A and B are shown apart, each in its own frame.
Chain A
Amino acid sequence: MKASPKTKKALAMLVGVVFWLVVWQVASLLIAERLFLPSPLDVVRALGQLAVTGQFWAACGTSLLRIAGGFVLGLVLGALLAVLSAAFRVAEILISPMMQLVRATPVASFIILALVWVNVRYLSTFVSLLIVLPVIYSTVRSGIAAADGQLLEMADVFHVRFWRRVRFIYLPALLPPLMGAAELAVGMCWKSGVAAEVIGLPAGTIGERLYQAKIFLQTPDLFAWTVVIILLSWGFGRLVLFLMRFASRALEGGAAR
């Protein structure tokens, strides 16, 4: 009776998940065709068989490194360009239309362009970078603009140094929206990164394995790889949020002398 709201929420979530797992299991029993709809148990079995192979872990590692690498590059580059735009009007005039162009371009066009322009090995890095870049750019740019003008005026009067302004005034305005945007961007870059791999088929990646599962009609493997992608994306998103939260706590805690 005294369950906390958090426990209740987790319980409700569990009920929902179990319900759909049962529906899935029943549906697969009714259809009785593994190639069309494998059961949850088939998928778990496929996952188990995959997980004992070294290739599985190698593919996970390769795709993770490349896609996460693209995310990190996009985060750093997007933030840098946003800071430049905030500092120099000229920079904003030049950068802002490029960002809108990148944002409006379909992922499929990036993938095909990337196949022409860059080595197929860095395809998913390139695509994930381009997906993350405009999201982070616009979030950081508007976060900087949203910094409290009254606090900035106070900092002027007291001659507060630049890095202290960043830490006390800009980052508190910036971090909450940035965490939301980063979480969103992680999901987007995994989806588009794997799509790029399925099209470009760089050797030893999740995308390549997904494609093979499709041509060899190994539907349980297809499902298993999908589960793996969701888990990797979720885990990486958690890690990113954890690091950002850690950074923001360190900032606020470390500020007291």
Chain B
Amino acid sequence: MNAASGIVLEHLGKTFGGGPVLQGFSASVAPGEAVALMGASGGGKTTLARIIMGLEKPDTGRVLGTEHLRFACVFQEDRLCEGFTAVANVALVLPRHSPVDVPAALRQTGLSAEELAKPAGKLSGGEKRRVALVRAMEAPSDVVVLDEAFKGLDAASRLQAYAYVKSRLAGRTLLLITHDPAEAEAFGARVVPVQKAGGAEAGPPPADD
């Protein structure tokens, strides 16, 4: 909505007990752009997304342009309220008089009426994933972060979920985290490699090595 300059990441560094994860990481994301953070497991993709959302503080460097942005997120974990139905889980993040038709949105990802009435804790892995996805897409936001959001979905439901996300994106910035090049391609996302900090400077230079 604002921030014509987009999100700018400057020389981000983060070290956990196990050693440095990010070192001098720089990148920028234009408003409305789709970006895919890709790289090996443990490379720091989730950490980077958490820093951008303000859930983690970088040890060095800074994040610019996110002050007034609202984020919506599918976390790497489902993070559903397990005793409540899928519909209630989505309604949780909506404004009081939201016009969103939650059951319709859930059905759009292939969930059945029967699944909508069950407590989220009793859904299968792929079903939970879709509830988390709908929660992220229907919440009012400027940036949508999808951390392996399509994990556990079969090929057909995955395509259905892609179509749903595209139909609801409405010009919002998209940050994908994925191990699947086809997923990045499906959203026309620019691939930004994220590797664990080590020998070479991990920075904006294009993907190689």
Which A residues lie at the B interface, using CB under 8 A?
A: 150-151, 153-160, 164, 168-169, 172, 252, 255-257
Contact = CB atoms under 8 A, between A and B. Distances in A.
Contact of A256 (B79, B85, B135): B85
30 contacts: A150-B75, A150-B77, A151-B79, A151-B81, A153-B55, A154-B73, A154-B75, A155-B92, A157-B55, A157-B71, A157-B72, A158-B73, A158-B93, A158-B135, A158-B139, A160-B93, A164-B92, A168-B81, A168-B88, A169-B81, A172-B81, A172-B82, A172-B83, A252-B88, A252-B119, A255-B84, A255-B85, A255-B92, A256-B88, A257-B88
Interface string B64-90: 000000111101010101111101100
A153 B50 CA distance: 11
Contacts of B34: none
A160 B55 CA distance: 15
Given A157-B55, A158-B139, A256 B91 contact: yes
Interface string B35-51: 00000000000000000
Give the top 9 A-B pairs by smallest Cβ distance, nearest first: A158-B93, A255-B88, A154-B79, A168-B81, A256-B88, A257-B91, A256-B85, A256-B87, A172-B83
Contacts of A157: 53, 55, 71-73
A159 B91 contact: no
A139 to B, nearest CB: 19
B8 to A, nearest CB: 21
A172 B119 CA distance: 13
Given A158-B92, A159-B70, A172-B82, 9 more contacts: A153-B79, A158-B73, A158-B93, A164-B92, A168-B81, A168-B84, A252-B119, A256-B91, A257-B102
B4 to A, nearest CB: 23
Given A172-B81, A252-B83, A256-B84, A158 B72 contact: yes
Contacts of A169: 81
B73 A252 contact: no
Give the one of A154, A172, A252 with max B CB within 10 A.
A154
Contacts of A164: 92
A5 to B, nearest CB: 22
Contacts of A168: 81, 84, 88, 92
Interface residues of B, number: 23
Contacts of B79: 150-151, 153-154
A151 B81 CA distance: 7
A197 to B, nearest CB: 41
Could you tell me the dominant secondary structure of chain A's interface residues?
Answer: helix
Contacts of A257: 87-88, 91, 102
Contacts of B77: 150
Nearest to B89: A168
Contacts of B139: 158
Given A154-B79, A158-B72, A252 B84 contact: yes
A160 B90 CA distance: 11
B135 to A, nearest CB: 8
A154 B135 CA distance: 11
Give the one of A164, A169, A252, A257 with max B CB within 10 A.
A257
Give the one of B55, B70, B92 with max A CB within 10 A.
B92
Given A150-B79, A158-B72, A158-B139, A255 B93 contact: no
B98 to A, nearest CB: 9
Contacts of A159: 70
A168 B94 CA distance: 14
Contacts of B91: 255-257
A87 B73 CA distance: 27
A255 B91 CA distance: 8
B111 to A, nearest CB: 14
Contacts of A160: 92-93
Contacts of B83: 172, 252
Contacts of A150: 75, 77, 79
B67 to A, nearest CB: 15
Nearest to B86: A256
Contacts of A151: 79, 81
Contacts of A172: 81-83
